[in-house]
């Protein structure tokens, strides 16, 4: 197992949570919090794996955007298209995937699963 990949996935979850909280605060002036989970928690070194990100909407308003930023050192090869959501993939100058934005509607008290491969 690779601790490096596990640390990077934990960083990814924090990046997602930070953006999610920022988006919620932009919509609601009251204090907001969010959490996401990323599975698997650990990665086999050198293996191509699918990572699933569960994004719950625990607020009283719909979530209309989810943004991911991948930490340096995480090589993402593809992202899953989620039905009902559009996706924009962000790339660096070398063409590597460095982030993505999904736009759609995540109703309150629901969750969405996003996925990417590395």
Q: What is the pTM (predicted TM-score) of this model? A: 0.65
* pLDDT at 69 > cutoff 80: yes
pLDDT in tens, 19-51: 444 444 344 433 344 577 888 888 777 778 999
Rounded Cα distance, 56 and 23, in Å: 14
- The vertex-118 CA angle with 57 and 107, nearest 5°, equals 15
For the chain, the farthest-separated pair of C-alpha atoms sits apart, in whole angstroms, at 44
Question: Which CATH number fits the domain that encloses residue 73?
Answer: 2.60.40.2230
User: What is the side-by-side strand order in the sheet with 37-39?
Assistant: 37-39, 50-56, 111-117, 78-79
Rounded Cα distance, 111 and 101, in Å: 16
* pLDDT at 13 > cutoff 80: no
Our count of domains for the chain comes to 1
For 55, the domain range is 3-117
């Amino acid at each position: 197992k690779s601790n490096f990949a596990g640390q990077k996935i934990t960083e990814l979850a924090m990046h997602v949570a930070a953006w999610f909280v920022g988006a919620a605060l932009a919509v609601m002036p009251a204090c907001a919090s969010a959490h996401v989970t990323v599975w698997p928690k650990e990665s086999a070194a050198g293996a191509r794996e699918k990572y699933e990100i569960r994004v719950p909407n625990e607020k009283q308003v719909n979530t209309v955007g989810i943004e991911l930023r991948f930490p340096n050192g995480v090589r993402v090869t593809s992202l899953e298209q989620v039905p009902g959501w559009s996706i924009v993939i962000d790339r660096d100058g070398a063409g590597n995937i460095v982030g993505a934005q999904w736009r759609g509607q995540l109703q309150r008290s629901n969750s969405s699963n996003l996925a990417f491969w590395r």
